[in-house]
Every structure is written in structure tokens, then in C-alpha cells.
Structure 1
Amino acid sequence: MQTQSHRSSTPREPVRHTRTVRGFALAVALATSGVAQAATSMCTAHSPAHRVALVELYSSEGCNSCPPADRWLGQWKGSGVPDSVVPLALHVDYWNSLGWMDRFSQHRFTERQQSLADRAGGHTIYTPEVFVSGRELRSWSQRDSFEGRVQKVTAEPAQADVAIELAPRGSGTADALDVNARFTARAAGSEKLNAYVAVYENDLTSQVRAGENNGATLHHERVVRQWIGPVPLVAGNARIHQDVALSAFDSNAKAGASTSTSAEQFGVVAFVENATTGDVLQVADLAACR
């Protein structure tokens, strides 16, 4: 397990990061996941009646202990197990100064990781780190521990509903996705709830030429490429509606890989989170239409 270091000669020394709050002035359209059903030009998904576990892996191509965690997350390639587990890989940027620039990294993912840690009363972030429905699980690699946490989450009734609609845009090979997501809280309350949409990509390959993974060929699934939110639920409802240009994510070409980007590599996850505790109340997952 690799802990965070920033501008230090000892990369495994944990360092506290200052938490930053970033807002998004975006219109919201709600999405739900569950079992995807393909239509002629649109696919849809809706969350089930029970709570689904959102699994967030915080990873980095500059971390030599991350590839096993990346492979572990890859077992849920595609739509994962949408009635129980919805996985996402979020690449952080605090290892980029150690010799290898992770092109999938975004500073907002570092901020989210720090925010989740702060809400739980901790201050150290590291890679690989796993959160299940907003709560850290250090023993994620132990099958019984992970399955036990997921079963505990899925045994609870959902406190929110999420629905997703995806429609490809463009002639021939889709070069954009029309993403429409809707979120509804099941009970009115005083707690502040936020909606999020994450666009993920599968089948990504990197040939690492520097840093701790120098010489390795890394394979990634469920990598978050675009993050939309937080969007507050107002009167228990929110909606996120946005066109996502897939051409902006031609990552394998930049990595010198032989495969090219196609709409089938993408999918969308939408979820509702308690803004105070970080608990993920409900999540939906939908692969792009084929």
C-alpha cells in the first residue's frame, strides 16, 4: 500500500493535503443505473429498490503497488454487477512529480479523495485506496471483507432513485454521447444531497517509460474521464443533461497503443451522495449503446 508524498525524496511518507472545495454551475438531469436495456438509438437503466455499492479505487500509474488493485477493479469491466457493485477508477495527480505523468489523473480526484478521508476523521490519503459507498475499506483485497461490506450495503433499502438515458451522437461511429440522468430522494429531509455523473472508459493501455512502473505495460478499466458535479438536489430532485464528446478521450492513440477509441468503450455512472457524511445513497451504471 503506497502512501501519499508531495515534493519529497521519500515517496511513501504520508502528507496532509489542504482540502479544496470546487463547485460546478451545471444544469442537472438525473440518471439511474441497474440493468441496461439497449434500444434502437437509446439505452436506459434504473437503480433497484435496494442500495447499490459504489466502489471508488484511487490509483496512479506512478504507484508501483497500484497495478494489482487496477487488475482487481477490472473484474467488473463493462457494467460491473449493477445490482450490487458499481466500480470506478479515479487517478490522482500527487505522484506525477516522481518521473511519470499519469494522463488519466485529475486534481479534482485528489480533492475528492481528501474530502472523503476528512469526513471520516482521517487526514492521510494514499494509493491504492478503496472507498465503498463513501467509506474507506482498507481490507478490500480480502475477499470476505469486501463481500461483507457490499452485502451490508445492498441489504439496505435505497434512499434515492437514479435513472440514466444514453443516446449516441454522430454518423457511423458515435463521436459523442447524450447523457441524461435523473435523481430523486425517496424521503424529504433537511440533509443536503448532491448528484454526480462520471463518464468512464474501458480497454486503456499505457506503456510506462519512467517512474516506479518503468518498463511495465499497464491495463486499465472503468477509468473516470469526465466528472460532473456536485449538483444539489432541490426539493428532492436533480437532473444532469450533457453531451459528452468522446473524441476528447483518444487516450490509447496518445499512449502509442494499437487500439482506437470507440463508443463501446464508454459508460456512465450516476449517484446521489450525502454532502455532509459522504455516504453514497444510491448509484446506477449504464454502458454506452452498441
Structure 2
Amino acid sequence: MQTARTRRDHRRFTRALALGMALGAFVASGIASAAGTLCNARSPAHRVALVELYSSEGCNSCPPADNWLSQWKDSGATQSIVPLALHVDYWNGLGWTDRFSQHRFTERQQTLTDLAGGHTIYTPEIFVAGRELRSWSQRDSFQSRIGKVVAEPAQANVALQLTPHAQGSFNVDAQFTSKAAPGAGALNAYLAVYENSLSSHVGAGENSGATLHHERVVRQWIGPVPLVAGSAQIRSDIRVDDANPDANAAAPADRFGVVAFVENAATGDVLQVAELAACR
């Protein structure tokens, strides 16, 4: 009896030890995974839809589009939707200067339009994965376009890493690799720094007297950086004060974030996207 009990006790101990080790490994893995997601992101095996809104504070039909885009401020990546708001400058001479506008966004909007065979740019205008979608406000039409993009295998990989430094600044390292078939054409890499929770009280123009709220506003833009031999890298030191001189460096870190993507230079098609909120 003593020998049998000893053997049973030994088996219980062994199982308990194995369970404890497994549980410890699981918890450690979870902690590592949680820590890793704060400052690292990698694009999935399927294509992700970059949704670009071209907007302006001088346009009275833009606020509804701004509000529409803001629904993916936090959870877009889980739905394979990565939103960006790019404020153009061609409304600035009509009564109100949009402080978030950049001429390069006007140029990008015109380039995407030209590549698709169009001629006229306007606000608000939506591009999904590099292609215009005029019916974006119709839920079924938008979801159909997203579904088609997500159903495709990724033709590129994007990896992001953010390393926090002093309060209000971080280093970003973006790696891009192509999975496209040979002969697919030249590919370019881009990096955008966005800011959330912005507002402006408009004093003139079509929105005079209104307080406008914005999410995912692009403040810095890097690119195009050509992929050479199927790969590219963008490394940059980002300072919150550079992105927005009026920002409070003590604001929540996820007020800022980065989006990195690969684009076909000949067609404007966005092949893959990754995003990551800033960390501390």
C-alpha cells in the first residue's frame, strides 16, 4: 500500500508540476504577446483596405465624411480597415485656411485620379485600396468593396516597430517586402503619422461658426520609397511637437500612430497596410 500511494503521489506531483509549468508558460506567453502588440505590428496574410478620405475644413459637405471615417478610429484594423484623413489645400483661398492641409495631399489625390483615368478632384472623396469609391456612404457598397479587398491574398508584407524615447517622441522602423509576381511593376513604400482627437472652431468660409472634430488626420508623410529587389525600409525619429506644435506631450500615447503601406506605382493600388498606435 505504501508503495502504491507513493507512486500515486508522485504521479499527482508530476501532473501538477507539468500543469504549473504549462500555465506559467501560457501566462508568460500572454504577457510577452501583450507587450509585443504595444509596439509591434505585422500585416496579415490577406489584403487590408487602406481607406483614404480627402477632406477640408473649408468644405461644408466634409464634416459628415469626417464623422463617418471616425467610426474606425480604434477598431478598424480588426475589420481590415485602416483609415486616414488627408486634408487638401485647394479650399484654403476661399475664406478659411485649413491648418491640417498639405499640398502633397492635393498632389496625391490628383495622382490617384489620373492613374484611374479621371480628371476632377473634389471633397469629400474616398479611395479604398487606391481606387475611388463614389458610393462610400452606401453601407452595402462600401462593405462590398471592403469584402473584395480582404478576400485577396496579400501581395506584400509590412512590419512596424515603434520604440518610445523621451515623452512625446518615438522611433519608427517599417519593413516592406513584396510578394507580388515578377513583372507586377514598380512598388513604393509609404509611412504616415496620424493624430486623433483634433478639433477646430472655424471662423470663416462655408463652415463658419462650426466646431469641427477630426480623427486619423495625417500630420507627417514619408514616401514614396521604392522597393529595391523586393524590399524597402523606412526609419525615422518622430517627435510629437513636429507633428503638431500645439499638441500636449502628456496626451495619451495613442493620440498618435503610424500607418505603413505598399503601393503599385503604375496603378495606385495599395497592396498591403499595417498600422500601430504610438506607445510609451
TM-score with structure 2 length normalisation?
Answer: 0.84
User: For each residue in 1:147-173, what CA deviation from the matched residue of structure 2 results, as whole angstroms up to 9, or x when unmatched?
Assistant: 000000000000000000011110xxx
Of 232, 247, 268, the residue aligned with 2:258 is: 268
Query: Partner residue of 1:27?
Result: none
2:187–2:263 contact (8 Å) kept in structure 1: yes
Q: How far does residue 225 in structure 1 lie from its aligned partner after superposition?
A: 0.3
Tell me what 2:196 maps to: 202
The residue type equivalent to 2:129 in the other structure is S
Counterparts of residues 113-124 of structure 1 (less than 5 Å): 113-124=109-120
70-79 or 265-274, larger mean C-alpha shift: 70-79
1:181 paired to 2:174: yes
SS in 2 for 1:189: coil
Aligned match of 2:124? 128
Instruction: State the Cα distance separating 1:289 from its structure 2 match.
Output: 1.3
Q: What percent identity do the matched residue pairs reach?
A: 71
Higher helix share: 2
State the 1:40 CA deviation.
7.8
Q: Does 1:228 align with 2:218?
A: no
SS at match of 1:226: strand
Question: Using CA pairs below 8 Å that are at least 6 residues apart, which structure has the higher relative contact order?
Answer: 1
The alignment covers a number of residue pairs equal to: 247
Q: Structure 1 residues 100, 68: closer, same or farther in 2, change over 3 A?
A: same
Q: Who is 2:6 aligned against?
A: none
- Tell me the distance in 2 between the aligned counterparts of 1:277 and 1:41: 32
* 1:164 counterpart residue number: 160
C-alpha displacement at 1:75, in angstroms? Answer: 0.3
TM-score, normalisation: structure 1: 0.81
2:168 and 2:250 in contact (8 A); partners too: no
CA–CA separation in structure 2 for the residues paired with 1:161 and 1:196 = 13
Amino acid at match of 1:282: Q
Q: Distance in 2 between matches of 1:110 and 1:263?
A: 29
Q: Which residue pairs with 1:287 in the alignment? A: 277
Instruction: Look up the SS of the partner of 2:117 in the other structure.
Output: coil
Residues in 2 aligned to 1:135 and 1:177: alpha-carbon distance in whole angstroms: 32
The structure that has the greater radius of gyration is 2
Shift of 1:39: 2.7
Preserved CA contact (<8 Å) 1:41 1:289: no
Q: Which runs of 5+ in 2 are unaligned?
A: 1-32
Amino acid across the alignment from 1:239:
Q
CA RMSD of aligned residues (A): 1.9
The residue type paired with residue 257 of structure 2 is G
Aligned counterpart, 1:151: 147
Pick closer, same or farther for the CA change 1:151–1:269 going to 2, 3 Å.
Answer: same
